[in-house]
Structure 1
Amino acid sequence: MAGTAQTPRARYREQTRAEIKEIALRQLAEGGTPAVALTRIAKEVGLSGPALYRYFDSRDALLTDLIRDAYADLAAAVSAAADALPPKTSPRARARALAGACREWAVAQPHRYLLIEGTPVPGYTAPPDTLDSARAVLGPFLQAFEGAEPSAAVRPVVRQMTAWAETDAAVSRWARASGSSAGVALAGAVLAWSHMHGAIGLEVSGQFAGMGHDGGTLLRAQIDALADAFGLD
Structure 2
Amino acid sequence: MGAILYPLYTVANLVLAIWSISLWQHSHNANILLLLLVVAGMTYDNLIISLGRLINEGSFLKLLNRLRFLLHDLLIPLLVVVAVQLASAAGVFWASKPILLSGCWTITFGLIGLALLTNFKHLELAPITFAGSLRYKPKNGQAPILTILIALLVGVAGFYIWREIQWPWMFVGTVVMLFGNALPTKIFGSLVGSAVDFAFILALLATQIVLS
TM-score (norm 1): 0.27
Give the structure with the larger helix fraction.
2
TM-score (norm 2): 0.29
Whose Rg is larger?
Answer: 1
